[in-house]
Amino acid sequence: MIKPVAAFILAAAFAAPAQAAEPVTLQLKWVTQAQFAGYFVAKSKGFYTDEGLDVTINPGGPDIAPAQVLAGGGADVIVDWMPSALAARERGVPLVNIAQPFKKSGMMLTCRADSGVKTPADFKGKTLGVWFSGNEYPFLAWMAKLGLKTDGSPSGVKVLKQGFNVDPILQKQADCVSTMSYNEYWQVIDGGLKPDDLVVFPYEKQGVATLEDGLYVNEAKLKDAAFVAKMAKFVKASMKGWAFVAKNPDEAAAITLEADASGAQTEAHQKRMAGEIAKLLDTGSGALDEADYKRTVQTLLGAGGDAPVITKEPTGAFTHAVTDAAK
């Protein structure tokens, strides 16, 4: 028989509403694919739920600028590349890096071997495909380092505004195109060209690599201790997701496919992507390495030219407060 006091406590426990999970909205830089597998894994495996979070993951696309979404209040945290984030910050959008899951850059310039390009010295006079919408900044920094103008003059290079596909290299409209090691490079291969038909220039090996796929928030929000605590839980769970991706890329790809409402992705491509992504990750706490940050800043400052990416050393562009709290 339950004593009256005990019965009252038991009834109260059942009657009390469960503490509501804290909502978090994440805006991705691009469409649902294994590039963002860590977040989909964290959601699917319950890592966010374990931290008391209810996370919504919004896919990106060619018409979605994460910085603008954040500035408009459409997300709590976004995935963005550091060059575009620093450029936005200089223009008045107060983005702050709170974590950096990606240690290495996957960006490459992929050229047709039959174009005659063997080294960067051969770029002069060639047509190079470049992504814009904030993705052009590492390329412009590299060309500035090489002393090549991007205005189409004979002493420089002709820039072809590349769509988010590899048609220009397949159709010989460009000598080289922008690719990611985990995505578009393999689209070139799937398009019929073989590795021996290509000459590849990873930005990492050219000394112009900049940080990609970091997590950014609005600087003003960091004054709120509760927000910092919430982001710490988000980063902790996300890094657990990324650690899972590094060890289980095939399963992570399958989880990402389940989250793809568009149905546009294929299993083979996503598994390959997840495997390549695993090579770029830092699966520790997610804390930004200040040496990597300084390298990115110096690369962008060295771009110079008529339209520099950034004109001065940023201040307050990153914080360790969130990753420190996550520990």
- Pick the more confident residue, 141 or 223: 223
What are 62-84's pLDDT values in tens digits? 889 999 999 999 999 999 999 99
Interval 242-273: pLDDT, tens: 999 999 999 999 999 999 998 889 999 999 99
Q: For all residues of the chain together, what is the average pLDDT?
A: 92
pLDDT digits (tens, 9 = 90+) for 276-323: 999 999 888 999 999 999 999 998 887 766 567 889 999 999 999 999
Tally: H helices and E strands in the chain: 13, 10
Contact 310, 301 (CB under 8 A): yes
Residue 119's pLDDT is what?
A: 97
Does residue 5 register a pLDDT over 50?
no
Identify the helix (H) or strand (E) that includes residue 86: helix 82-90
Report pLDDT for 16.
42
Q: Token pair for residue 25? A: 């909205």
pLDDT of residue 145: 87
Is residue 8 pLDDT above 50, yes or no? no
HSE-up (13 A, CA, CB side) for residue 218: 18
Mean pLDDT of 106-125: 97
- The residues spanned by each domain of the chain are 20-104+211-326, 107-206
Closest by Cα among 296, 70, 327 to 317: 296
pLDDT at 307: 64
CATH superfamily, domain 107-206, is Periplasmic binding protein-like II (3.40.190.10)
Task: Assign a CATH topology to domain 20-104+211-326.
Answer: D-Maltodextrin-Binding Protein; domain 2 (3.40.190)
Buried/exposed code over 250-286 (b: 16+ C-beta within 10 A; e: otherwise): ebbbbbbbebbeeeebeeebbbbbbbbbbebbbbebb
Three-state DSSP state, 77: strand
- Residue 199 pLDDT > 80, yes or no? yes
pTM for the structure as a whole: 0.90
Give yes or no for residue 156 having a pLDDT over 70. yes
Domain 20-104+211-326 identical in fold to domain 107-206: yes
pLDDT value of position 18: 57
Q: Strand (E) positions, the chain?
A: 22-27, 53-58, 77-80, 95-99, 107-112, 127-130, 158-161, 176-180, 198-202, 214-218
pLDDT score of 101 more than 90: yes
**Residue 297 DSSP class:** H
Nearest to 119 by CA among 109, 127, 129: 109
Mean pLDDT of the 14-26 span:
76
